[in-house]
Structure 1
Amino acid sequence: MSYRYKVAVVFLLGFFIDCVNIFMSAVALPSIAAHLQVSSASVAWVANAYILGLTLVIPISTWLAGRFGHRQIIAASMLLFSLAGLLCGLADGFASLVFWRLVQGMAGGLLIPLGQALTFNLFQGTQRARISTLVMAVALLAPALSPTLGGAIVDHSSWRWVFFASLPLSLLTAVLAWCWIRTEDGPAPTRPDVQGLLLVSATLAGLLLGMSLYGSGYPAYLALACLVGGLLFAGLYHWHCRHCPRPIVDLRLLRNVRLGLSVGIYHAIPGLFTGVNLLSLFFLQDTLHLSAQHSGMFMLLYAAGALMAMLACGRFYNSLGAARLFATALVLHSAGIATLCWVGSNSDLPLLITAYLLMGLGGGAGANTAQTTALLDFSGNDTHKASVIWNINRQMAFSLGAALLLMLYNLLLRHLSATDAYHLSLLLAALMGLLPLPLLGKLNPQKVLHAPVDR
């Protein structure tokens, strides 16, 4: 096996483990909430803490790799990831579970951007589309298998084994990283932007905490204070980025139309789907009384639709262009979410099948096209910077999508029945998923696509 494919294998294994940790833990959240006696909004912090941990370290991953070496950082991250996963499974309280999920997210946040940047720098030109297809194949395989497997684990054993299940793969990834990735000398790394890191982390924490508290029985002023604080920190970071020569997250790269739109699309499709799927898991298990395994199996239908869409996108990306594929993806995905609005009992199996197939078609087309498009214009050190933005955004989309949908549901639950609140939340999500459509004209090939980045 050539060196570049060895690096790709390490990255793809780490990426697979990251996706598994998001989707397998999601199917266990109703059981965790019942066992630890916390609300649906509070239990979402099992996922939010993981995302926050990723956000804390993704921006400094490049500096750490430059200081200690890619091989050492990637191998150490997977060892720490394994230890934190073990302690998540052994946690005897909700606070300790959330804490170790934070640590696990910090460990995972070291591997993903480093592995992606190393891999994409080794695959140039038309090969980028090929490796992007492999990345999305992993992103498809993990959501397809992990909810069904996680549901079976929860039904026949305990939610704790959901966290134990990924330990063999994470340890294997650590060994392969140490054996396969070369030690390469490079320029001395510059001091990381600590102030920017704190502002980015405070922004995400404020927004997530505000949406989690709002509508969940806590005082409204407390939730609004967190939301306002998150927005204030976001504004401060925007000012900081304009005046810092080497910001931790270089927002100036978002002037590139392809990257900017891909970032937005990821919130409208995979991000919203994370929230929709989380709501559906609670609805199917708590209201329709389906087992965790059966509710998780609908992700197999999602995966089937996504696979068909990914194959089509890989074949027709160059001929149809990103704009047409994005438009098709947005419409199909929102149509699938809207179909869930008609599900009211466990006899509505055809509607559930149709909904997950449509969401899979839209999700596969949208995520694959975004992954191919986002880093298309970058090379060298800019690939590392763009990879940081892309990976932070990918994780934020998952977390913000879940927090937003749970907030809407809890607010509507004050005035409506559980079923009606579920349906109206999904209808609003379907409409929000169409918001990027008017912006797709910016991808017109006659327009300038390579915006300069200030140095």
Structure 2
Amino acid sequence: MKQYFNARVAVVIVYVLAMFMSALDSTIVNVALPSIVEAFDVPPAATGTINIGYLISLAMFLPAAGWFGDRFGTKRVFLAALAIFTIASALCGIAHNMFTLNLFRILQGIGAGFLTPVGMAILFRTFTHEERPKLSRILIIPIALAPALGPVIGGLLVDVLSWRWIFYINIPIGILALVIGKVYLQEHLEEAVGKFDYKGFLLSLSGFSMSIYALTQGTIKGWTSPEILITGLVGISLMIALVLVELRIDKPMINLSLLKDPMFRTMSLISLCSAAGLLGMLYVFPLMYQNALNVSALHTGLTTFLEALGLMVASQIMPWTLKKLGLQRLLIFSLLGTIIVFILIALSALSNPWLLRVLMFGIGFFLGQTVGAAQISAFKHIDSASMSRATTLFNMQNRLGSVLGVAILASVLGATDAVEGEHIGLLTYQYALFGAALFLIIAWIIAMRFKETENKRKPQLRLDDVERSKGIG
């Protein structure tokens, strides 16, 4: 096939298409749940498994992504995961009952578990640390725009066509990414990858999935229910065992020694806390706006959409602010700005809707710079051989942060609802938003200490020089 553009441009296009599809899928499904209930004649509670199965299967296979990419080739594994996700999307669209839909959603989760870390490894091996800030202007599309567009696109597809089209929409995107990736992506294998870490895989598979299940279902089934208590305790025990095992293995599946690098460790923790705060806020705010303030779903969506626009603006100026302020000051100022905006949203819930929309834009503007700077800086000292394991570990922490944020804030709402035995009041939602700000305060404290930590020890890992050719434009 004739090559129509630079190979480095193709890497960006394939990554953006794959991540856009995956990110869109994380929010587009929710608006179709009522239609699925009606189509399959099941109770609303039964649709919870549609997302649970997806999240757990993703969590189960995410830790193994780095090893598979190094062993069998990042191009081969990435395209296989992309094909699995695309085929599973088509199968979800033709599902004829809840069992088959849940089964195909689990298959989707397996593909998604490999897509992000392997795709990120390909991207960061292609572009040097100095080039990565410019990438934020493009990479923000799947990070911010896709999740925000999910409810809007999903609502249109459900109303005009049917719920099945929320899955069919992935097919053309997936095929396009597969064709471009097949032609342009370069294969990368690591010779010294080591044997497959079966102990680590089994411990992470069971421990991570059980922990995610307990966190996502605790507020629904009750934190004191035997099912949640046993699942959660066993999951935590297995995760502790995983850490102990991985630290003793020469070639572990989850390379925890990467956390010895101060830059990677600090940026990972800041990203974890930022994900917990942002996802927690995006969970609480729509509930507060609709249930406590009786605002329509449409207006709620339009209000939260401003956060995505703020992220996109932040992505355009982040390379400039990073250069002018430096990493530490940028993180301190952007996190402090986000904390202030979070508090203002909690205090201004009854204010003019346009004030809330401006504040939502502010969250995206400030936190977008934090997330972008942390992501591109985390891998500054990671060499090419360790990149797949590093992106896997980074994404595992982000996934855990997202689930923790939603689970903890949901438990605040659930506990109050259980005590009062009535509709959750506005004050409770405000307390939950303050809780979301606490995650960012932790990230801000870490950022304040970052310079001292960075100067204490020199980086142990060096980024391999990547041959530069024509830029991304």
- Determine if the TM-score, normalized by the shorter chain, exceeds 0.5: yes
State the distance in 1 between where 2:299 and 2:93 align.
23
State the distance in 2 between where 1:102 and 1:279 align.
26
* Residue 146 of structure 1: aligned partner: 150
Which aligned pairs between 1:58-73 and structure 2 lie closer than 5 A?
Answer: 58-73=62-77
State the distance in 2 between where 1:45 and 1:221 align.
19
* Residue 230 of structure 1: aligned partner: 235
Q: Aligned-pair distance for 1:73?
A: 2.7
The superposition leaves residues 161-185 of structure 1 with CA deviations (integer Å, 9 ceiling, x where unpaired) of: 3222222101211222222224567
Query: Are the structure 2 counterparts of residues 399 and 144 from structure 1 closer, same or farther at C-alpha, using a change threshold of 3 Å?
Result: same
Q: Aligned-pair distance for 1:125?
A: 3.9
Matched, 1:37 2:43: yes
* Residue 134 of structure 1: aligned partner: 138
- Comparing 192-201 and 241-250, the one that deviates more: 192-201
- Comparing 381-390 and 155-164, the one that deviates more: 155-164
State the one-letter code of the partner of 1:254: L
Q: Report SS of the residue matched to 2:441.
A: coil
State the distance in 2 between where 1:45 and 1:350 align.
36
* Residue 257 of structure 1: aligned partner: 262
State the distance in 2 between where 1:27 and 1:89 align.
15
Query: Are the structure 2 counterparts of residues 217 and 62 from structure 1 closer, same or farther at C-alpha, using a change threshold of 3 Å?
Result: closer
Matched, 1:430 2:437: yes
Query: Are the structure 2 counterparts of residues 47 and 354 from structure 1 closer, same or farther at C-alpha, using a change threshold of 3 Å?
Result: farther
State the one-letter code of the partner of 1:447: N
The superposition leaves residues 218-277 of structure 1 with CA deviations (integer Å, 9 ceiling, x where unpaired) of: 453332222222221121111011111111111111122222222222232233322322
* Residue 455 of structure 2: aligned partner: 447
Residue 213 of structure 1, aligned match among 196, 200, 217: 217
Residues 264 and 379, structure 2, Cα contact 8 Å, conserved in 1: yes
Residue 285 of structure 2, aligned match among 280, 285, 290: 280
Residue 92 of structure 2, aligned match among 88, 92, 97: 88
Query: Are the structure 2 counterparts of residues 108 and 146 from structure 1 closer, same or farther at C-alpha, using a change threshold of 3 Å?
Result: same
State the distance in 2 between where 1:354 and 1:93 align.
43
Q: Aligned-pair distance for 1:132?
A: 4.1
Residues 199 and 233, structure 1, Cα contact 8 Å, conserved in 2: yes
State the distance in 1 between where 2:82 and 2:311 align.
28
- Comparing 332-341 and 307-316, the one that deviates more: 332-341
Q: Aligned-pair distance for 1:365?
A: 1.5
The superposition leaves residues 180-232 of structure 1 with CA deviations (integer Å, 9 ceiling, x where unpaired) of: 22456763753221211222232322222222333424453332222222221
State the distance in 1 between where 2:242 and 2:189 align.
32
Q: Report SS of the residue matched to 2:340.
A: helix
Which aligned pairs between 1:99-114 and structure 2 lie closer than 5 A?
Answer: 99-114=103-118
State the distance in 2 between where 1:144 and 1:213 align.
24
Q: Report SS of the residue matched to 1:187.
A: coil
Residues 285 and 295, structure 1, Cα contact 8 Å, conserved in 2: yes
Matched, 1:324 2:329: yes
- Comparing 283-292 and 199-208, the one that deviates more: 283-292
* Residue 335 of structure 1: aligned partner: 340
Q: Report SS of the residue matched to 1:130.
A: helix
* Residue 467 of structure 2: aligned partner: none
State the distance in 1 between where 2:58 and 2:21 align.
13
State the distance in 2 between where 1:87 and 1:382 align.
35
Residues 274 and 439, structure 2, Cα contact 8 Å, conserved in 1: no
State the distance in 1 between where 2:419 and 2:189 align.
62
Structure 1 residues without counterparts, runs of 5 or longer: none
- Comparing 234-243 and 439-448, the one that deviates more: 439-448
* Residue 387 of structure 1: aligned partner: 391
Matched, 1:115 2:119: yes
Which aligned pairs between 1:348-363 and structure 2 lie closer than 5 A?
Answer: 348-363=352-367
* Residue 418 of structure 1: aligned partner: 424
Q: Aligned-pair distance for 1:285?
A: 4.7
State the distance in 2 between where 1:158 and 1:124 align.
44
Query: Are the structure 2 counterparts of residues 234 and 364 from structure 1 closer, same or farther at C-alpha, using a change threshold of 3 Å?
Result: same
* Residue 207 of structure 2: aligned partner: 203
Q: Aligned-pair distance for 1:289?
A: 5.3
State the one-letter code of the partner of 2:76: Q
Query: Are the structure 2 counterparts of residues 269 and 362 from structure 1 closer, same or farther at C-alpha, using a change threshold of 3 Å?
Result: farther
Matched, 1:403 2:407: yes
Matched, 1:312 2:317: yes
Which aligned pairs between 1:184-203 and structure 2 lie closer than 5 A?
Answer: 187=191, 189-203=193-207
Structure 2 residues without counterparts, runs of 5 or longer: 462-473
- Comparing 165-174 and 128-137, the one that deviates more: 128-137
Query: Are the structure 2 counterparts of residues 55 and 207 from structure 1 closer, same or farther at C-alpha, using a change threshold of 3 Å?
Result: closer
State the distance in 2 between where 1:227 and 1:22 align.
24
Q: Aligned-pair distance for 1:375?
A: 0.8
State the distance in 2 between where 1:113 and 1:241 align.
19
Residues 113 and 387, structure 1, Cα contact 8 Å, conserved in 2: yes
Residues 54 and 392, structure 1, Cα contact 8 Å, conserved in 2: no
State the distance in 2 between where 1:404 and 1:21 align.
23
Query: Are the structure 2 counterparts of residues 398 and 217 from structure 1 closer, same or farther at C-alpha, using a change threshold of 3 Å?
Result: closer
State the one-letter code of the partner of 1:397: G
State the distance in 1 between where 2:78 and 2:160 align.
34
Query: Are the structure 2 counterparts of residues 67 and 436 from structure 1 closer, same or farther at C-alpha, using a change threshold of 3 Å?
Result: closer
Residues 36 and 93, structure 1, Cα contact 8 Å, conserved in 2: no
State the distance in 2 between where 1:384 and 1:328 align.
31
Query: Are the structure 2 counterparts of residues 432 and 117 from structure 1 closer, same or farther at C-alpha, using a change threshold of 3 Å?
Result: closer
The superposition leaves residues 330-369 of structure 1 with CA deviations (integer Å, 9 ceiling, x where unpaired) of: 2333333334434667x85134313312221232112111
State the one-letter code of the partner of 1:172: L
Residues 128 and 376, structure 1, Cα contact 8 Å, conserved in 2: no
User: Normalised by the size of structure 2, how large is the TM-score?
Assistant: 0.84
Residue 21 of structure 2, aligned match among 12, 17, 20: 17
Q: Report SS of the residue matched to 1:418.
A: coil
Q: Aligned-pair distance for 1:50?
A: 2.9
Query: Are the structure 2 counterparts of residues 351 and 90 from structure 1 closer, same or farther at C-alpha, using a change threshold of 3 Å?
Result: farther
Q: Report SS of the residue matched to 1:191.
A: coil
Query: Are the structure 2 counterparts of residues 337 and 201 from structure 1 closer, same or farther at C-alpha, using a change threshold of 3 Å?
Result: farther
Residues 147 and 299, structure 1, Cα contact 8 Å, conserved in 2: no
Matched, 1:166 2:170: yes
